[in-house]
């Protein structure tokens, strides 16, 4: 079975395990340190195991996979992914929006169950945060200036801390039945180089954005003592050099994962596949140099009109020379128009299955033990 081969590959390339800093990588990086020096053992194991897989095998994932799909919602142990491939994905994407707002307590409980189920399946949980505008109460697309107002000393700083308190309280209860804290990759303020969210490049300076990141991370880590987070920095694809990419980068001491969201370059108006490869190589190189994970944190083709898009368009880019990423995540399946992975009967289902059959692509049923010490 392929999962046995994947586990064998992982064990073969692991060196001795580590549960205290620094994390040692089989890729030759001898001084990799996490943002949180008090990270739980499982969080550290997740980082090291993904690091050692990076450049050798790629996990694949989906946003909200087991919460809903095309034509269904809230069906136990179901996902469009599983209906097509007979396995859930390896990476499960979620959102802190409802939790931080405090308006959706019923869904918060359901989400906790789904995250635990993903953990039990050996999957990776990653959270973005489509935070509504904290100044106006509008949506995340409301670009009224807000970043400066929520920084320390700003008019809405206390309200912002209350949002972080809600996230922390929820996460601190996110444990297994045996009481083990479940690790989470947290990627706040994604696509910050764009101009569609209130935290975007047009609505705050690089210095203000970095300060927001610093205050967010240090409050969760040091004040609320959340120690099960890995922190992911994931701009959109609006960069053409390392300098561009790092313009709003908050620093090595506050970042565990280097990511990119990229839909645009796969479309007719983007930089094309050459641009996709170039940008993946840039973030791979930055991650390697700085001892970070790398990932394509969001991508996909809405509606998937190309029946061979997964194997003929996406796969050659994510496995091209000098690209080393740990996972790829597709966006959500809302309905027959807005979806990014096939559902039963979809024109791209056969090609999606072919992608899952690639030896260097790991579906949910093929993921090695990511939360145990290397070599176990």
Phi, psi at residue 327, to the nearest 5°?
A: -155, 160
Integer Cα distance of 233 and 284 in angstroms = 13
- Which pLDDT does position 374 carry in this prediction? 84
**How far lies 268's CA from each of 263, 265, 273, 291, 341, in Å?**
11, 8, 10, 34, 20
Integer Cα distance of 186 and 190 in angstroms = 10
Cα–Cα nearest to 364, from 62, 43, 91 = 91
Q: Are strands 68-69 and 72-73 parallel, antiparallel or unpaired?
A: antiparallel
136 CB-near residues (< 8 Å, 6+ apart): 142, 144, 146
Integer Cα distance of 60 and 93 in angstroms = 11
- Which pLDDT does position 355 carry in this prediction? 98
Q: Are strands 293-299 and 257-262 parallel, antiparallel or unpaired?
A: parallel
Dihedral angle, C-alpha 318, 321, 323, 326, nearest 10 ° = 70
- Which pLDDT does position 32 carry in this prediction? 65
- Which pLDDT does position 31 carry in this prediction? 53
Return the ∠ at Cα 232 (arms to 179 and 279), rounded to 5°.
145
- Which pLDDT does position 282 carry in this prediction? 98
- Which pLDDT does position 103 carry in this prediction? 80
Query: Which residue numbers in the chain have pLDDT < 70?
Result: 1-32, 105-106, 376
Distance of CA 202 to the CA centre of its chain: 24
- Which pLDDT does position 7 carry in this prediction? 46
Q: Hey, how many other C-beta atoms are within 10 angstroms of the C-beta on 335?
A: 12
- Which pLDDT does position 107 carry in this prediction? 86
- Which pLDDT does position 74 carry in this prediction? 95
Peptide bond into 330 cis (omega under 30): no
Asked whether the beta carbons of 53 and 10 are under 8 A apart, the reply is: yes
- Which pLDDT does position 375 carry in this prediction? 74
**How far lies 65's CA from each of 51, 75, 87, 346, 353, in Å?**
24, 11, 11, 17, 16
């Amino acid at each position: 079975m392929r999962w046995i081969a994947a586990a064998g590959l992982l064990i073969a390339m692991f060196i001795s395990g580590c549960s205290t800093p620094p994390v040692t990588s089989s890729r030759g990086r001898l001084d990799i340190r996490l943002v949180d020096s008090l990270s739980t053992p499982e969080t550290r194991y997740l980082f090291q195991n993904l690091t050692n897989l990076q450049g050798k095998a790629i996990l694949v994932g989906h946003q909200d996979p087991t919460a809903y799909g095309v034509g269904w919602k809230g069906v136990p142990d179901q996902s469009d992914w599983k209906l097509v491939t007979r396995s859930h994905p390896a990476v499960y994407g979620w959102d802190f929006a409802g939790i931080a707002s405090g308006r959706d307590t019923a869904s918060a409980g359901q989400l906790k169950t789904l995250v635990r189920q993903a953990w039990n399946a050996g999957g990776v949980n990653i959270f973005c945060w489509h935070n509504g505008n904290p100044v106006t109460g509008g949506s995340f697309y409301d670009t009224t200036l807000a970043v400066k107002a929520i920084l320390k000393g700003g008019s809405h700083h206390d309200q912002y801390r209350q949002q972080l308190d809600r996230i922390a309280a929820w996460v601190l209860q996110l444990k297994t039945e045996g009481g083990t804290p479940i690790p989470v990759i947290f990627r706040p303020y994604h696509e910050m180089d764009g101009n569609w969210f209130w935290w975007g490049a047009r609505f705050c300076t690089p210095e203000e954005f970095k300060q927001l990141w610093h205050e967010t991370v240090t409050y969760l880590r040091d004040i609320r003592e959340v120690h099960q987070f890995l922190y992911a920095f994931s701009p959109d694809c609006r960069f053409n050099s390392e300098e561009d990419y790092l313009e709003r980068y908050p620093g090595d001491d506050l970042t565990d994962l280097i990511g990119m969201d990229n839909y645009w370059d796969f479309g007719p108006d983007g930089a094309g596949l050459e641009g996709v490869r170039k940008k993946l190589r840039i973030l791979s190189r930055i991650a390697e140099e700085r001892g970070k994970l790398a990932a394509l944190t969001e991508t996909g083709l809405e509606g998937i009109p190309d029946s061979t898009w997964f194997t003929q368009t996406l796969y050659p880019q994510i496995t091209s020379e000098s690209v080393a990423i740990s996972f790829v995540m597709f966006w959500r399946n809302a309905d027959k128009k807005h979806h990014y992975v096939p559902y039963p009967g979809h024109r791209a289902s056969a090609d999606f299955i072919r992608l899952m059959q690639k030896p260097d692509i790991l579906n949910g049923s093929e993921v090695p033990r990511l939360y145990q010490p290397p070599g176990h």
